[in-house]
């Protein structure tokens, strides 16, 4: 090999290695942000004026040690079609780092039976318009999807092994 061939191969190899490490860093940062919040919920109910009314009670855990989140709204859908959007129940609630929060929503419009409540998909958004992985179809379920399930399992396993994630 001559001088220029060796030089260019070293330069391109260094650039490739640098891009690989930057890509790994971005994947780790996405993983941390995607698994920062664990959101679960259950349905509460009461009888008002002879009709049953239902509302969600959320258990939101911020596992980040450095990032706060400010909540915006709750979106309710049935099979992907919008049912209602609650802009008042959690608007402005701040989730401090490493905190556990119990937050109750307001009564969901046009839901008067438990079967109707169980058909709802619930999505929580923060004020940066980020939707969290809460698309459950039943009380306490954290949604669907194998990617989400394995991401949370991996983070839980890493935290049990006392590996600092931040």
Clarify whether residues 13 and 40 are in a common domain.
no
Residue 25 located in a structural domain: yes
Residue 155: CA atoms inside 13 Å, Cβ hemisphere, count? 20
**Domain membership flag for residue 105:** yes
Angle, CA of 123, 35 and 108, to the nearest 5°: 15
pLDDT grade for 140, boundaries at 50, 70 and 90? very low
**Residues 41, 30 share a domain:** no
140 and 116 in a common domain: yes
On whether the CB atoms of residues 98 and 38 are closer than 8 A, the answer is: no
Cα–Cα distance for residue pair 121/137, rounded to 1 Å? 5
22 and 72 fall within a common domain: no
- Comparison of pLDDT for 126 and 34, the residue scoring more: 126
Residue 113 and residue 41 share a domain: yes
Residues 95, 25 share a domain? no
Which tens digit of pLDDT belongs to each residue from 39-86? 888 889 999 888 999 999 888 888 888 889 898 888 888 877 889 888
- pTM for this prediction: 0.72
Residues 3 and 44 both lie in one domain: no
**Do residues 59 and 119 both lie within one domain?**
yes
* Position 48 in a domain: yes
Q: Are residues 126 and 148 in the same domain?
A: yes
Q: What is the mean pLDDT of residues 23-31?
A: 87
* Spatial CA neighbour of 32 closest among 134, 160, 158: 158
CATH classification of the domain holding 95: 2.60.40
Same structural domain, 14 and 54: no
Identify whether 98 is part of a domain: yes
Domain count, the chain: 2
Q: By the 8 A CB rule, do 37 and 134 touch?
A: no
What is d(CA 49, CA 67) in angstroms, rounded to the nearest whole number?
A: 43
Q: Range of 9's domain?
A: 1-34
Which one has a higher pLDDT value, 4 or 35?
4
- 85 with 145, same domain: the answer is yes
pLDDT band at 136 (very low <50, low <70, confident <90, very high): very low
Assess whether 101 and 120 both reside in one domain. Answer: yes
Residue 126 in this model has a pLDDT that exceeds 90: no
**Mean confidence (pLDDT) of the chain:** 83
CB-based contact 100:106 (threshold 8 Å): no
% the chain with pLDDT above 90: 22
> Percent of the chain at pLDDT above 70?
88
Residue 42 belongs to a domain: yes
165 in any annotated domain: no
């Amino acid at each position: 090999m001559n001088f220029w061939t060796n030089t260019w191969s070293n330069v391109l190899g260094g650039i490739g290695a640098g891009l690989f490490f930057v890509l790994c860093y971005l994947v780790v940062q996405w993983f941390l942000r995607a698994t920062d919040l664990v959101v679960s919920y259950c349905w509460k109910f009461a009888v008002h004026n002879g009709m049953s009314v239902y509302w969600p009670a959320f258990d939101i855990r911020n596992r980040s040690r450095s990032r706060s989140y400010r909540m915006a709204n709750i979106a309710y859908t049935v099979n992907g079609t919008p049912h209602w959007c609650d802009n008042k129940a959690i608007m402005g609630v701040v989730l401090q780092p490493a905190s556990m929060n119990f937050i109750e929503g307001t009564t969901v419009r046009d839901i008067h039976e438990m079967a109707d409540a169980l058909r709802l998909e619930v999505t929580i958004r923060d004020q940066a318009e980020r939707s969290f992985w809460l698309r459950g179809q039943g009380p306490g379920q954290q949604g669907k999807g194998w990617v989400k399930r394995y991401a949370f399992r991996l983070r839980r396993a890493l935290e049990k092994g006392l590996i600092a994630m931040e």
